[in-house]
C-alpha cells in the first residue's frame, strides 16, 4: 500500500479543481478521512483474519461499492456550495482512489475492487509503487525506498496536476 500521507493527495488535488467561491471545507475533510479509512482493515491482522480473506487487509474496505456507499451517505447531507452530485463524486473518487493506488504497488495480495460481486483481488498491469511495510515495520530502512517511490509516482504527478489546475483558471474571477 502507499502510505496514508500519499492517499490524502487525491482529495487535496481534487479540491484544487473547485471554483474559488466560498464552500464548506467539510467535504474536503471527509475526503481526506475516507481516503485513508480503508487501511483500518490492517487491524484484521491482530484479530487473526487471514490477509486473503474478503474481511482482511485490502479486502471489502477497498472496494468500489464501499466507496460508492460512503459517497451516497454523505451526498444526503447539505454542504454549503456543493451540490449532492459534487459531494458524491468528490467522496467517491477520494475513497475509491485508495484501492486503485494500492493496486499499483509491487507487493501484497491484490485489491478486492469488485467485492462483493467478485472475491478476486486485482493488481494494475503497471505496478511501479513500492509497497509500504505495515505498522511498526514502516519505520525501517525500507521506508525511505517506499517514500521515494511514492514521491516519484504519486507526489510528482499530484504537484504537476495541482499546478495545471491552478493555471487553468482556478482563483480567477469569471
Dihedral over Cα of 22, 26, 27, 33: its sign: positive
Higher pLDDT residue, 71 or 16?
71
- pLDDT, position 151: 92
Rounded mean pLDDT, 10-28: 87
- pLDDT, position 23: 85
Report residue 135's pLDDT band, with 50, 70 and 90 as the boundaries.
low
Rounded mean pLDDT, 18-40: 90
The values of phi and psi at residue 79, to 5°, are: -125, 125
- pLDDT, position 172: 47
Which pTM value belongs to this model?
Answer: 0.89
Rounded mean pLDDT, 59-65: 97
Is the bond leading into 27 cis (omega within 30 degrees of zero)?
no
Indicate if the pLDDT at residue 116 is higher than 70: yes
Torsion angle of C-alpha atoms 17, 37, 41, 144, degrees rounded to 10: 70
Dihedral over Cα of 39, 102, 59, 139: its sign: negative
Amino acid at each position: 500500500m502507499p502510505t496514508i500521507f500519499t492517499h490524502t493527495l487525491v482529495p487535496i488535488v481534487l479540491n484544487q479543481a473547485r471554483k474559488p467561491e466560498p464552500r464548506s471545507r467539510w467535504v474536503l475533510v471527509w475526503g481526506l478521512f475516507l481516503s485513508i479509512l480503508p487501511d483500518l482493515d490492517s487491524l484484521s491482522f491482530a484479530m487473526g483474519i487471514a490477509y486473503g480473506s474478503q474481511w482482511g487487509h485490502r479486502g471489502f474496505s477497498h472496494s468500489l461499492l464501499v466507496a460508492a456507499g460512503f459517497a451516497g451517505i454523505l451526498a444526503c447531507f447539505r454542504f454549503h456550495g456543493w451540490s449532492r452530485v459534487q459531494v458524491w463524486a468528490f467522496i467517491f473518487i477520494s475513497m475509491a482512489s485508495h484501492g486503485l493506488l494500492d493496486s499499483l504497488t509491487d507487493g501484497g495480495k491484490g485489491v478486492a475492487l469488485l467485492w462483493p460481486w467478485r472475491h478476486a483481488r486485482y493488481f494494475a498491469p503497471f505496478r511501479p509503487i513500492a509497497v509500504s511495510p505495515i505498522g511498526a515495520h514502516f519505520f525501517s530502512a525500507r521506508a525511505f525506498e517506499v517514500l521515494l517511490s511514492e514521491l516519484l509516482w504519486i507526489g510528482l504527478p499530484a504537484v504537476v496536476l495541482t499546478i495545471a489546475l491552478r493555471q487553468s483558471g482556478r482563483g480567477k474571477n469569471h
